Copies of this chain bind each other. A is one copy, B any other.
Amino acid sequence: MCAAFDNHLVRVGACQVSLAVGKVGENRSAGLDAALRAADAGARIIVLPELTPPGYVFESAAEARALAEPADGPSVTEWADLAARRHLVIVAGFGELGADGQVYNSSVLADPSGVRAVYRKAHLWDAESDFFVPGSEPPPVVDTEFGRIAMMICYDVEFPEWVRRPALAGADLLAVPTNWPADPVPPGERPNVVTNVQTAAFANRMFIAAACRVGEERGVSWVGGSLIAGPDGYPLAGPAGPSDPEVLVADCDLARARDKATSPRNDPHRDRRPALYA
């Protein structure tokens, strides 16, 4: 426990937004409106979905490229402006046209001082590998005034080894912009991608805020399921349903993520035995 960080309560928002591929202007507006509603509800850390401006179900690499923008492009600039104007941290997904000419499935973290970090999705899902180059850099952990915040994108969070990296590096909150395509869910069950987020929080005693999208797109529908999970793995807000936009907020005492004790003798990070895992 870090004494200076004790009782550090911050309201976190996860914005489930309706998006449509190619409708960049409308998607940006929808994302901005949702972020403003979260801010109006008192959220200081706000998460928007994966690929918010371009949408997801691309028909070609050319389409994905045409809808991408540089990391200092209009969407990121708009989010950074909002973060400065309303004193927020915003994490949001976008299609990134890299300085190297490659197209990435990326997310940005902006705070009142501007863009703090860009992360490129390292584990690509299905046809994404036709449209994007995978990143190869670990999720950054950004020390903000609200706490240490990391980010990864959608399928990334299904790799517990990948979640461990920012967790071991001290992340209090993992922000996960996501687009979870719908799979059949047995009656009475929570989608497995949702319980996966809960377990990723539980395994690392950190908070996770995942923001998914809705809005059928070229025959694909979505899990929705946006949620904010606490360090014991239970949802503090959500999971949202599969159909409607929703702005979730939850008060998170991020200091709880700095006390990993789960029993008088246990701590899931200290108890790891990495020499045995190779």
- Chain A positions within 8 Å of B, measured between CB atoms, are 122-123, 125-127, 129, 136, 138, 155, 158-162, 164-165, 183, 185-186, 189, 192, 195-196, 198-200, 202-203, 232-235, 263-266, 268, 271-274, 276-277
Contacts and interface: CB of A to CB of B under 8 A. Distances in A.
A126 B265 CA distance: 5
A199 B265 CA distance: 25
A195 B271 contact: no
Contacts of A264: 126
Instruction: List the number of copies, as a whole number.
Output: 2
A152 to B, nearest CB: 12
Residue of A127, A189, A235 ringed by the most chain B CB atoms within 10 A: A189
Given A123-B271, A123-B273, A160-B160, A203 B196 contact: yes
A125 B263 contact: yes
Contact of A159 (B125, B192, B235, B272): B272
Residue of A126, A195, A199, A233 ringed by the most chain B CB atoms within 10 A: A199
A196 B235 CA distance: 14
A277 B160 CA distance: 10
5 contacts: A125-B265, A126-B266, A160-B203, A162-B277, A189-B234
